[in-house]
């Protein structure tokens, strides 16, 4: 379980992780959980990179898996897309 301090620091995220996170966030703002295939298509990143990023973001508490899809984890800031 990640600590609250680590979730606050987006600077801990790599550029690829930030790109993947933003793709999931964009889907989630439309009330649509994102699949890995959708994130790959949205970002242009390779499948292996996206899957590693998704795993890392889930492990860090930034994303929550729901079946084969991903939702944003707990956060206290808004998103505008």
Spatial separation of the C-alpha atoms in residues 2 and 28, rounded to whole Å: 22
Residue 34 in any domain: the answer is: yes
Q: What are phi and psi of 76, to 5 degrees?
A: -120, 30
Residue 26 in any domain: the answer is: yes
Residue 36 in any domain: the answer is: yes
Strand spans (E) along 32-79: 34-35, 63-66, 69-72
Q: How high is the pLDDT of residue 4?
A: 46
pLDDT single digits (tens) 61-80 = 999 999 999 999 886 555 55
Give this prediction's pTM: 0.80
pLDDT single digits (tens) 27-64 = 988 889 999 999 999 999 999 999 999 999 999 999 99
Neighbours of 24 (CB within 10 A): 29
Query: Averaged over 12-28, what is the pLDDT?
Result: 93
Please state the domain count of the chain.
1
Q: What is the CATH number of the domain that holds 30?
A: 1.10.10.10
Spatial separation of the C-alpha atoms in residues 4 and 61, rounded to whole Å: 9
């Amino acid at each position: 379980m990640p600590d609250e301090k680590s979730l606050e620091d987006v600077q801990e995220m790599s550029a690829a992780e930030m790109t993947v996170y933003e793709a999931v966030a964009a889907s989630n703002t439309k009330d649509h959980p994102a699949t890995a295939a959708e994130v790959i298509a949205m970002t242009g990143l390779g499948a292996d990179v996206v899957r590693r990023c998704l795993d890392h973001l889930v492990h860090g508490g930034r994303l929550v898996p729901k079946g084969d899809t991903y939702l944003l984890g707990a956060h206290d800031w808004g998103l505008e897309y």
